[in-house]
Amino acid sequence: MAKNDLLGASLWDAYSNKVTTLMNSPKHQGELFEDEVTARGNKLIVADFGAESCGDAVRLYWEIDPATDTIVNSKFKSFGCGTAIASSDVMTELCIGKTVQEAVKITNIDVEFALRDEPNTPAVPPQKMHCSVMAYDVIKKAAGLYLGVDAESFEEEIIICECARVSLQTVKEVIKLNDLKTVEQITDYTKAGGFCKSCIKPGGHEAKEYYLVDILAETRREMDEAKMKAAADASAAGGAKFEDMTLVQQIKAVDAIIDENIRQFLIMDGGNMEIIDIKKNDEYIDIYIRYLGACNGCASSSTGTLYAIESTLKEKLSKSIRVLPI
């Protein structure tokens, strides 16, 4: 059947040739049977997984050599769209020859990448990425059945965007490090929310426990509270001279000045900075910093930008300050 007979040309062209081929001619679709597998001295695992959001379902068959935990054969049956069939077929192929412990490490990203014709061209349109997520979930289900553990025990982090496999911790760290203020910026930096978009806010393709809009608001609140605490700590130092502060007080004081006077300009140019250490010697108080993003390697980082940072800190905190990039 011609592509244009099924969908409009522009939409159909969003699928790789591998996907469209496997939709109609999967290599590993079928069943494995208990008596045949047992006769070969192996163990049969049958795992089912269904996606409530779209009604698709997949059944995965593993024939496992119990002496080595190796998946010697695998089949699948898919009840869903053509993309689900193609994803399940590639997922099944990736499992064969691996141990169960190795197969659990296969992710939806691996499945989608294996479906690409060209390394830099996605195999499916963003809204269809959830089909490869289903393939990943059924692998965890099969491994859990074989090893006698809960499938969720294989997940070490809280995954916010299953399409791009982005964790909660990663999202929060990227927001803080780059002072992100919008969900669109989070997507640019991490790809979270760039596919089926379910993780952005309620009402998407499927319900989520965590949403980017809420994570952004909570993280920004944490950042604001940290700044207020730093200012309060500096004030609690009783107006002590910078030279007489403890190292922790000095770092908080420097951070507060940078946040108020410098950081916003660095971020506008795609960069940032962090304080590495503060050391006092007979003549100077040396503040060691590291440039991040676009600031790292920028010619101005050792001239104009450095002068602005050092001058501001000297004015606000101590004439003895010297800023040294590393």
pLDDT of res. 5:
44
Indicate the domain borders of the chain. Answer: 3-155, 161-220, 237-325
157: its two tokens: 């982090």
Percent of the chain whose predicted confidence (pLDDT) is above 90: 44
- Which of these CATH numbers, 3.90.1010.10, 3.30.479.10, 3.60.110.10, 3.40.462.20, describes 3-155? 3.90.1010.10
Catalytic residue among 54, 95, 199, 295: 54
pLDDT tens for 163-191 read 777 889 889 988 987 888 999 999 888 88
pLDDT of res. 51:
61
| Residue 81: active-site member | no
273: its two tokens: 């900075």
pLDDT above 50: residue 2: no
pLDDT tens for 235-274 read 555 556 888 888 888 998 898 899 888 988 898 888 999 9
What is the third-level CATH fold of 237-325? GMP Synthetase; Chain A, domain 3 (3.30.300)
Catalytic residue among 95, 131, 161, 196: 131
| Residue 131: active-site member | yes
Answering whether pTM is above 0.75, one says no
**98-112, 207-221, 307-321: which has the minimum mean pLDDT?**
98-112
Residue 115 CB-density burial (10 A; 0-12 exposed, 13-18 middle, 19+ buried): buried
pLDDT of res. 102:
95
3-state secondary structure the chain: CCHHHHCCHHHHCCCCHHHHHHHHCCCCECCCCHHHHHHCCCEEEEEEEECCCCCCEEEEEEEEECCCCEEEEEEEEEECCHHHHHHHHHHHHHHCCCEHHHHCCCCHHHHHHHCCCCCCCCCCCHHHCHHHHHHHHHHHHHHHHHHCCCHHHHCCCCEEECCCCEEHHHHHHHHHHHCCCCHHHHHHHHCCCCCCCCCCCCCCCCCCCCCHHHHHHHHHHHHHHHHHHHHHHHHHCCCCCHHHCCHHHHHHHHHHHHHHHCHHHHHHCCEEEEEEEEEECCCCEEEEEEEEECCCCCHHHHCHHHHHHHHHHHHHCCCCEEEEEC
Please determine whether the domains at 3-155 and 237-325 fall in the same fold group of CATH.
no
Distance (Å, whole) CA 221 – CA 216: 8
pLDDT tens for 85-111 read 999 999 999 999 999 999 998 887 788
